[in-house]
Chain A
Amino acid sequence: MPPIISFEDIKVGDRIPPLTKDPINNVQLVRYAGASGDFNPLHFDPSIGEAAGFGGVIAHGMLIMGFVGEAITNWIPNHHLKKFRARFTGITRPGDIITITGKVIEKKETDRTILCSVAAKDQNGELKIKGAFEAQLPSRNQGI
């Protein structure tokens, strides 16, 4: 588990540690299909990818959202995460290398909640996910 970050330790503009994932490959897409139960053949059958106009298979959007989830929970413990959303803005293909970044955009003193923006981009800087999350953090004197 990441070290506990207290609400007082966070400033608006703070960046979450970036995460760069290994290149996506076809085996990962098949494994993700099995793990998630999303057997849309677009993600493992090249002929369907062609028919759908993508020229081949594309990654599950939820795989990339899972990468973003990893970046978030490397920074704050899972039980502090309260809301998480993602808009899938671009197609990801095998071979793409995804990097996740994020920063604190708002602090709500009343319930010690922070609002952060997150983004997933590929090796060319193309945006795949634009998202946000909310986390409720402990006070410095309060522990977890």
Chain B
Amino acid sequence: MDPSVKGKRLADFTYLVDRSKIKEMAEALNDPNLIYRDTASAQEAGYKDIIAPPTFGTSINLCGGPGFQELCEGLGADPLRVLHAEQEYEYLQLIHPGDLLHLTIDVADIYSKEGRSGVMQFALLETTISNQKGEKVLVGRSTILETPLS
């Protein structure tokens, strides 16, 4: 990893939430909850339309912004040694189909730790997502680990 990317903005983009992408995520998780698929069921549960599941932020990040390879390039990391170490979400508003989201991804920190097999490097990426009304809807923090050279 390249320590000089600390503090840099990796991406700044908009993402239009698509109904079928929410359903695709629920199907991939094998989560049968109808509030991710069926408008009537979502309305019965008190929502205006279907909503995005709690980990949909990953899809917004990677489908709308830099994908895995691009992310590794941005961090100067070796794709073969990259793992997801931690993930955190803060939920401020629900996400619905048709929401036009604005995302920024910043490298909040780059740090290293001495592990059993050498130096492990970490990147903390902070994603801030706001909607078309300018309201913040979701904050995501991802810790990406680059394992030691073997």
Q: Does A82 contact B (CB under 8 A)?
A: yes
Would B67 and A37 count as touching, CB distance under 8 A? yes
- Within the assembled complex, what's the spacing in Å between the Cα atoms of A70 and B27? 12
Q: A41-82: which residues lie under 8 A (CB-CB) from chain B?
A: 42, 48, 51-53, 60-63, 65-67, 69-70, 72-74, 77-79, 81-82
- Within the assembled complex, what's the spacing in Å between the Cα atoms of A104 and B86? 21
Would B53 and A37 count as touching, CB distance under 8 A? no
Q: List the one stretch of A6-14, A26-34, A108-116 in contact with chain B.
A: A26-34
Tell which of B29, B53, B54 touches A63, judged by Cβ atoms closer than 8 Å. Answer: B29
Would A1 and B28 count as touching, CB distance under 8 A? no
Would A85 and B59 count as touching, CB distance under 8 A? no
We find that the number of chain B residues with CB closer than 8 angstroms to chain A is 42
Number of contacts between A and B (CB, 8 Å)?
122
Residues of B within 8 A of A (CB): 21, 24-25, 27-31, 33, 35, 44-47, 51, 53-55, 58-59, 61-64, 67-69, 79-91, 94, 150
List 17 other contacts, CB 8 Å, given A78-B51, A88-B86. Answer: A31-B24, A31-B28, A34-B28, A37-B61, A38-B58, A38-B67, A39-B69, A53-B150, A62-B58, A66-B25, A66-B31, A66-B53, A69-B31, A70-B53, A81-B54, A84-B91, A88-B84
Residues of A within 8 A of B (CB): 1, 21-22, 28, 31-32, 34-40, 42, 48, 51-53, 60-63, 65-67, 69-70, 72-74, 77-79, 81-88, 144
